[in-house]
Every structure is written in structure tokens, then in C-alpha cells.
Structure 1
Amino acid sequence: MDSKTRIYSLDYLRGLMASSIMIFHFCTWQIGEFSSSHILGKLGIYGVSIFYILSGLTLYKVYYKKFNAPTLAIDVKHFFIKRVFRIIPLLSLVSIITFFAGKHHDIERLLLNITGLFGFIAPEKYVAVGAWSIGNELVFYAFFPIVIILLKRHIKLFFLFCALMMVLSLIFSAYLLNPASPLGEPNQWKLYVNPFNQFYLFLSGIIIGYLIDQSKFAFLKTLETRTQSFLIIIVVFILVVIPVSGGEIMLVTGYNRIIFSILSILLSGLFYVYRGSFGSLINGFLKLTGDISYSIYLLHPLCFFFLQRLLKINSMWIIPVSIILTYISSYLIYRFFESVFVKLGNRLCSKQTDKQLI
């Protein structure tokens, strides 16, 4: 998304969620697990859910108009090229570091991770902490062109497909996942990280973009900033105070799954239409964290365990030091590693387009 069409409020939310997940992990590893009623406990689960929603929304915004009939094959090809160059290099790098730092020996598992194929074959066999969600994203990307084509040409089939994916998720949360067992139990976790348990969130992002851009919901963009801000505060307040008892499993089963999913979707939609400002300094920081959010998400475990295991830092100071180290290393990786591959993918697509025009 270029600077003219970029929606910076989505970057802000993406950066906030990446930072929230980072803080959740650091506090959990150093202090202990949080209850499902604690705000960090909720963000530890639904921060990732919001990532999925934002991913669907952002890709809709970029590609809905680009996927046109005369150049559809080229556009789809370029979509996959750009996604591979955006996702795989950093995923591979972090997976390799984690693999050898942990002294693993399953080379097949490493190969599945550096190619991203684990998301399609065995989503639970991720190597880097949190990489299961990246595997899910890769599965969503595989369906994305089909989903957008349905939306453009067969809208009833699109919404039918979305409804089926939502019903499938309800089956996971109501029948397959057991609220009496911890979410971290292997069989439970294997079910939870299944991409078809999360797909409805990605599709929800596409629906948000479509309904607000193409229908009567466009009025949300014209609301006064103070009204938009008030609605965001209300949604966040409900998310924080709504009571939940039990472990993490209670956040992703039963009615709680429905309630927190709706709140996540509403929050993402409100940030999509939000045009307010938090001040130049805060805006700059939030934009930066949004830009480097992928690096923050994958690098923060490495930063923490580097300080803990190699430098033997085990006091509470490890949390703020890890946060600072994560931000610095994420910026450097984004600037000198991620951006290099993103530009390479864009350049490759440009060259192929030029050849088509000759």
C-alpha cells in the first residue's frame, strides 16, 4: 500500500498488538501466567486474532481493485511473489536461529518451517515461538485470490463461504476444543492452531473493508473524530472489564469465543475508519511499531532468551531491557533485512510486468 492510500490507523493498531503480545510473553515468562480475566491474558490470545483481521482488511484494500479480469493471472502471480518475499525470509531466519539455539535435530521440521509448508501440512510443528500464526497466514494467502474473485463476481458464494468458515470455527470452539483441558495440552493446541479455526477472522477483515467501502456502512468514515474515539474507548473498555473465569481455554471456547471475536472485529473496523491524531510523537512511534510489527512478533522471544540464557539476566529488569532490545533489533532487521527482500519482490514483479508489455 503506497503512502497515498495507506491507512496509518491500521499500522497503529498493528503496532499496538505486536507490542501487547511481546509484553504478554515477557511478563508470562518472567512472572507467571495471567488469568483469562487479565487484560494481558486477553491480548495474548486476541492480539493475534486482530492480526488476522488486519491482514484480511489490508489485503482487501490493496488487491480488490487490482484483481481485474484482463490482468488477473499476472496480478495473482505478483500477489504470491510479494507475499513470499515479505514473509518467508524472516520466518526462515528466525526458524533457523531458534532451531540451532534449541539444539533440535528434526531437519524435516526445519525444512517445513523455512519453506512455510508447515502451515499446510502440520500447523503445530512450528519452530519459532508464535510462528504457528504465520503458518496460518500462509494458508489464508493461498485462498485469498479465490476469495476476492468470489467477492467481485459471485458475492452470494463469497458470503456463503464466509458463513461456512464461521460455522466451522464454532464447531472448533463448541465441540472440538475441551474447556475442561488446558489450551496448552498438545491435542488441544493442535486443534486451536488449525488454520480453519482462525480463517473466519481473516475473512472478517475482508468483509469489514467491503462493507465500509462498498455499502451504506461508508457513513462510519464521516463520523466526527470524537465519536470514533468514543466508540473505540467503549469497545476497549468492554474488552478489558468483561469477566472471564478459568484458564486461557475459556477465552477461545463457548460464548466467549463469539464475544471476543466480535469485539476484535469491531475494534479493527473502528481503527479502519479512524482519522484522528494522537500527536506527532505518538503517531510517529505507533507508525514505526506498525512498520516493524512482523519483526517484533518473531524476534521478541529471541531477544528475551538471549538476555536470560546468555547474559544470565533473571531479575525484573529483563522485561524493560528485552523490550528495548526488541525494538532496536526489530528496526534494524526491518531496515536491512525485511525491506531488502520486499524491494526485491517488488522489483521482480516490475520486471515481469515490463516483459508483458514488450
Structure 2
Amino acid sequence: MKRIESLDYLRGLMALAVMIYHYVSWSTGPVGSEHLLGKLGIYAVSMFYILSGLSLGLVYYGKINTATDVGSFLIKRVFRIFPLFWLVLTTSICLSYLSSVMGGKAFEPDLFKIFLNYSLLFGFVDPAAYFTVGAWSIGNEMVFYAILPVVFLLSRRSAFILPVAIAASIAAGIYFAAYSLNAGVPLVEQWSTYINPFNQLFLFMGGVALGVYGHPLKGKRISSITMLSASFLVFCFYPVVGDTIVIVTGAERVILSFSCMAFVAGLYFLNPTFSAAPAKVLGFFGSACYSIYLMHPVVAKVVVALSEKLGLGAVVGYTASVFVTLGVSWVVFNYLEKPMMNAGKKVASIFERKGRVAILT
């Protein structure tokens, strides 16, 4: 099906938001939940989950009918996720080794943790055992990719399977917001609980629900604009103050998550177009969003260290890191991600053909 470019643009903008949030908080100190950037530091990743679920729901619902279809789906996901993740992981390990050597310390890596990261199994085993900044969300995605084809496959037997799965994911999210997380304790002290994939699954499944059930509202301009405007205002101006724990617990979790869902839905239903120049810039951000998201902490580690060594300071280093990250992401997307995605499609196609032949014989 034809790509919905406005959704790609939003992915790119959310990747930029995460990068800016990290660079600001690392250079000037924590950003509270009362600031828009503080909200985006948490909910930009939530938007990724919603967008991922929406995209996969649109493409794969009704098309995963056999074990071969499941295999093809997983092959494409592996070729999309693993190559860049391995590059960033390997670079991070090398930088840790160099830092240890230069600091006169022994380099003693946790080999099991490294195995969990190279295999991308940490999301299933220990969501907090990620090695690189931001990688926790990729571990969550791998769990979602394991769940989705099973749900779609079972949906062939009963139309109630998908609604039940969506409802169960919402119930899990409410449980975490109301009971598992303590609104009186800083989020950093409960991080391992927050990043549990079952605390995030409702966002992904909400996106799937939009893709599967949202068609009747697509193209209704007034309703879409109203949804976009209202959700944007709620997200920006809903009054919260303090540590980011306050925006992932209680009613705030429900309100802000719903506003993110409504914003994505409004954008999907409206699908606005842009003139050539903005579309080209936004298109680059959208294409390179995965690289921007994973590469920016690694780039900053090198650039900021160099900036401080030259006496320019951390702020200059983080500012320069924005531009270096964008340049590196362009190279990585064009020379690693894009070729690997094309290779994944070819391998999946061969797998599908062999699967059909095996069924016929």
C-alpha cells in the first residue's frame, strides 16, 4: 500500500524531540514535566509505538494467515531493526572499552548482557538490560513484533481476538499507571518498571486499532482538524508540575496517552500534504528517524568529549552534535538501513515462495 508520508514526518519530528530532550537534559539538567520538552521526552517514544502499531495494522491485518506469513513478517522486521542496532551497540561497546583504557580502568563487560543485546532478547528477559541509551524501546518493539502476528493469526479463527487483545493491553497499562508505579517516587528510581513492555503495549495496540478500525473516519477533514487541534492543546497545556513520574501515573497517564493517540489518529485521517521544500526536509527526518534516535547518544559522547578537550564546553558540544547526528544519520540510512530493508524484502519474498511450494507439495 502507498506510504502515508505525514506519519513518516511525525516519526522524524519525534526522533528530533527525543534528541533535543536528551541533549538539553544532559547539558543543563533534568527537564520537568511542566515543560513541553519534558512531556515530549517521555511521550515522543509513546508516539513511536502508536505509529508502529498503526503502520503494521494497515499493512498486515488480514494478510497473516499462515506460518509462512509470520516468518516473512519477522524476516522483514529483523532486517529493519538488527543492522543499525548492531552498529550502535558495537560502537558503544568500543567507546566503553576506549574510555576504560584511557581512564586506566579494567574493561569488564557483562557478556550475558551483551548477548541479550546482540540477540535483541533483552526485552523478553530483562527490559532494563539494554546497553545503549534509548535501546529499551527497541527491546519493547521486539516483544510487540512477537505478539502481533500471533494475534493476527488467531484473529482468523475469531473476530473477537483482536478486540480482546487491545482491551487486555489497555487493562495492563491502567494497572501499571495505577498500581505498579508510585507517583510519589521519582521515575528514575522506577525506570525498570516503567519500561516493562506490558506497560507500553496499549500504545502499540492502540495504533493497531487505528489501522484496523479507523477507515470510516479517514478523509473527514473537519473532524480530523478538530481532533488534531484539541489533542495538541491538551498535550501542550494540560497542567502538570514536577518529576516526570507525574505524567506516567494516574489520570495524567490516561489523558496524555489519549491525546497522543488522538493526535496520531487526526494526522492519519487528515493526511495533510506539504510543499516541496518542507516535504523534502520532513521526509529526510522521517526516513532517518531510526538512525537519529539510536545514533544521537553515541555521536554526542564523541563530539562532546572532543569539544570539552578543545575547551569549548559541553553546550557547544551538544549543539554541534545535533548537526553531526543528522549528517551521520543520512549516511547510515542510505548506506546501511535502506540496503538492509531491500535485502529483507528479497529474503522474505524467497521465503514466501518456498513456503508456498512446500504447501503445494
TM over 0.5: yes
Within the candidate set 185, 207, 210, 2:212 is matched to 210
Q: Map Cα deviations across residues 204-247 of structure 1 (whole Å, 9 max, x no partner).
A: 0011111212xxxx1x22323x6634532332122111111220
Task: State the AA in 2 paired with 1:93.
Answer: L
Instruction: Note if 1:112 corresponds to 2:116.
Output: yes
Instruction: Note if 1:145 corresponds to 2:145.
Output: no
Q: 1:170 to 1:355 in 2, by over 3 A?
A: closer
Report what 2:52 is aligned to. 55
Give the superposition deviation at 1:149: 2.7
SS in 2 for 1:155: coil
In structure 2, distance between residues paired with 1:142 and 1:249: 29
Instruction: Note if 1:307 corresponds to 2:306.
Output: no
Contact 1:92 1:115 (8 Å CA) reproduced: no
Contact 2:303 2:318 (8 Å CA) reproduced: no
Contact 1:13 1:290 (8 Å CA) reproduced: yes
Give the superposition deviation at 1:274: 2.1
Q: Map Cα deviations across residues 34-71 of structure 1 (whole Å, 9 max, x no partner).
A: 11010000001000001001111101111114224xxx
Report what 1:350 is aligned to. 349
In structure 2, distance between residues paired with 1:149 and 1:155: 11
In structure 2, distance between residues paired with 1:315 and 1:124: 28
Instruction: Note if 1:11 corresponds to 2:15.
Output: no
Q: 1:241 to 1:162 in 2, by over 3 A?
A: same
Q: Map Cα deviations across residues 258-314 of structure 1 (whole Å, 9 max, x no partner).
A: 001100110111111123223221111111111111111000111111111134242
Report what 1:100 is aligned to. 94
Write out aligned runs for 1:333-344 (5 A): 333-344=332-343
Report what 2:29 is aligned to. 32
Instruction: Note if 1:242 corresponds to 2:252.
Output: no
Q: Percent of counterpart pairs with the same letter? A: 39
Task: State the AA in 2 paired with 1:53.
Answer: I
Within the candidate set 250, 254, 260, 2:256 is matched to 260
Long gaps (5+) in structure 1: none
Report what 1:20 is aligned to. 17
Report what 2:126 is aligned to. 122
Q: 1:252 to 1:56 in 2, by over 3 A?
A: same
Report what 1:89 is aligned to. 83
Root-mean-square deviation (Å): 1.7
Write out aligned runs for 1:274-293 (5 A): 274-293=270-289
SS in 1 for 2:45: helix
In structure 2, distance between residues paired with 1:135 and 1:58: 18
Instruction: Note if 1:324 corresponds to 2:298.
Output: no
Aligned length: 344
Within the candidate set 265, 275, 282, 1:269 is matched to 265
Give the superposition deviation at 1:152: 4.5
Long gaps (5+) in structure 2: 98-107
Give the superposition deviation at 1:357: 5.8
TM-score (norm 1): 0.91
Give the superposition deviation at 1:354: 3.8
Give the superposition deviation at 1:252: 0.4
In structure 2, distance between residues paired with 1:91 and 1:263: 30
Contact 1:228 1:274 (8 Å CA) reproduced: yes
Report what 1:233 is aligned to. 229
Contact 1:96 1:110 (8 Å CA) reproduced: no
Q: 1:151 to 1:12 in 2, by over 3 A?
A: farther
Report what 2:203 is aligned to. 201
TM-score (norm 2): 0.91
Q: 1:105 to 1:60 in 2, by over 3 A?
A: same
SS in 1 for 2:160: helix
Contact 2:234 2:256 (8 Å CA) reproduced: no
In structure 2, distance between residues paired with 1:357 and 1:201: 34
Contact 1:113 1:127 (8 Å CA) reproduced: yes
